[in-house]
Amino acid sequence: DASRAQIRWWMWACWAFMALAMLSKGLIGILLPGAALALYTLIYRDWKLWTRLYIVSGLLIFLAIAAPWFIWVQARNPEFFDYFFIYQQFTRFLTSELKRPGPWWYFFPILILGVLPWLGSLVPALWKSASQPTLRGAAFGGAQGRTLHAQGMLLIWVVFIFVFFSISKSKLPSYILPIFPAIALLIGDYLDRTRRGALRWQFALLALLGLAAILGFTQLHRLGNAITPGALYQQFGWWLEGTAMLALGSGLLAWRWEMQGRRTAAVLLVSVAMTLGFSLGIQQFQILGRTASTKDVVQAIRPWIHPGQPFYAVGTYDQTLPFYLDRTVTLVEYQGELHFGIAQQPGLWVPTYADFAKRWEADQLPLALLPPSSLPALQALHLPMTVIDRTTRFIVIAKPGQDYGAAAQAAATRLPAAWNTGASLTPPPLGAVQ
């Protein structure tokens, strides 16, 4: 059992990490744990729990970590409070203004994928934790008889966060990441306590899913589109086949070991095999990820890039672009979620294509990145331009008649002639990823 000193230090650590979460993600850094504790108190009527949280000293630690940064930023940026706390917290949750919509079931597929390969244990683990509210927890247990219903707390944590973000008007897959450590603890307890042979259907389900995935991934190329060609999906699919084969093989062998009473070996096998399999799939996701990044684009136009030259993002904004350019860019007829930053630096925003055309005419050595759909609008303005790179997602243009240097002149001789003819008005052929 933990001593009083150990409990105090652990609680102080909790307050410190809540402060760091506040700095990183805002109010949910304290809202999520606070709401979970409040619900736990109401359900289990454990009012004494709050006397063991070291609230006064904990709040001092919390404020010492979080408050200085917020005060400093607010002093330098008077608009910060409204933008960070009102717009990014309440407006994001209560309205669809940030254009991150999703149906009520948005997080269910993410939950299913996130608990693999233990999907078959998810419901039994949650049900068992809900039906055993009297288990003693280690966190606050002690000789004095202080107890915490650990499984109940974990279940409340999972359910509250899942429901909270499901009713939000703004949804992203990463929002429910905090529930997975709690789910892992609940499933781990279930795997440890369930009777011999009870996991055989769990491992059989894993093998069945692996077999279905082996067959399904052969058709992954059908997801191809103008942005990500089917050939890339097929290439990625071959790596996923390896993950699926690991699921099939480990599921079958674990099923056999479970029937033989070798529970530890079966669980360890599946854990290691699927960790390897998922790592393989995640690592090779770069096959698809490169089409969603500007890394190759920036590499291709490197000969045209010079320090201090104007660089525009026309009708779009890709967050990887400033990273690979190692500089900021000027937005044209686009704001998205960047209106706050634009208000701070209005010089990095051009409201309309027409205003952009005027600036382009006066610029020296300008470059601009745009989606193919924006090209006709610029040609309608008779904008002088030369296409220097083209992918399924982006076009990069330079200003003709300007000296971008010898390296750019040499690179220009290797550009496809069709890029700067009438053919440039249409997207490149499917699969023509540069």
396 closest CA partner among 433, 367, 419, 359: 367
Which DSSP helix (H) or strand (E) runs through 68? helix 55-76
Grade residue 430 by pLDDT with cuts at 50, 70 and 90.
Answer: very low
Q: What is the largest CA-CA distance in the chain?
A: 84
Is the pLDDT score of 107 beyond 90? yes
- Give pLDDT, residue 324: 94
pLDDT tens-digit profile of 40-99? 998 888 888 888 899 999 999 999 999 999 999 999 888 888 888 888 888 888 888 777
190 closest CA partner among 134, 253, 122: 122
Q: Using CA atoms, how far apart are residues 103 and 20, in angstroms rounded to an integer? A: 31
Q: Which of 149-158, 177-186, 341-350, 373-382 has the lowest mean pLDDT?
A: 341-350
pLDDT tens-digit profile of 339-360? 778 888 888 899 999 999 999 9
- Give pLDDT, residue 422: 52
User: Which residues have CB under 8 Å from 102's CB, separation 6+?
Assistant: 171
Is the pLDDT score of 429 beyond 70? no
> Would you give the DSSP letter of residue 149?
B
pLDDT tens-digit profile of 195-231? 888 899 989 999 999 999 999 999 988 888 877 888 8
pLDDT tens-digit profile of 227-275? 788 888 888 989 999 999 999 999 999 999 999 989 999 999 999 999 9
- Give pLDDT, residue 11: 93
Which DSSP helix (H) or strand (E) runs through 186? helix 179-193
Q: Using CA atoms, how far apart are residues 18 and 284, in angstroms rounded to an integer? A: 34
Grade residue 428 by pLDDT with cuts at 50, 70 and 90.
Answer: very low
Is the pLDDT score of 333 beyond 50? yes
Q: Using CA atoms, how far apart are residues 197 and 136, in angstroms rounded to an integer? A: 26
Pair 431, 231: CB distance under 8 Å: yes
Helix axes 107-115, 150-166, angle to 10 degrees: 140
- Give pLDDT, residue 230: 86
What pTM, to 2 d.p., does this model score? 0.79
- Give pLDDT, residue 203: 93
Kindly report the average pLDDT of the chain as a whole number: 87
- Give pLDDT, residue 423: 37
The amino acid that residue 151 corresponds to is Q
What is the mean predicted confidence (pLDDT) over 158-171?
94
Pair 314, 368: CB distance under 8 Å: yes
Grade residue 145 by pLDDT with cuts at 50, 70 and 90.
Answer: very low
- Give pLDDT, residue 138: 38
Q: Using CA atoms, how far apart are residues 153 and 96, in angstroms rounded to an integer? A: 31
Grade residue 431 by pLDDT with cuts at 50, 70 and 90.
Answer: very low
What is the mean predicted confidence (pLDDT) over 323-339?
89
Grade residue 312 by pLDDT with cuts at 50, 70 and 90.
Answer: very high
Q: Using CA atoms, how far apart are residues 411 and 404, in angstroms rounded to an integer? A: 11
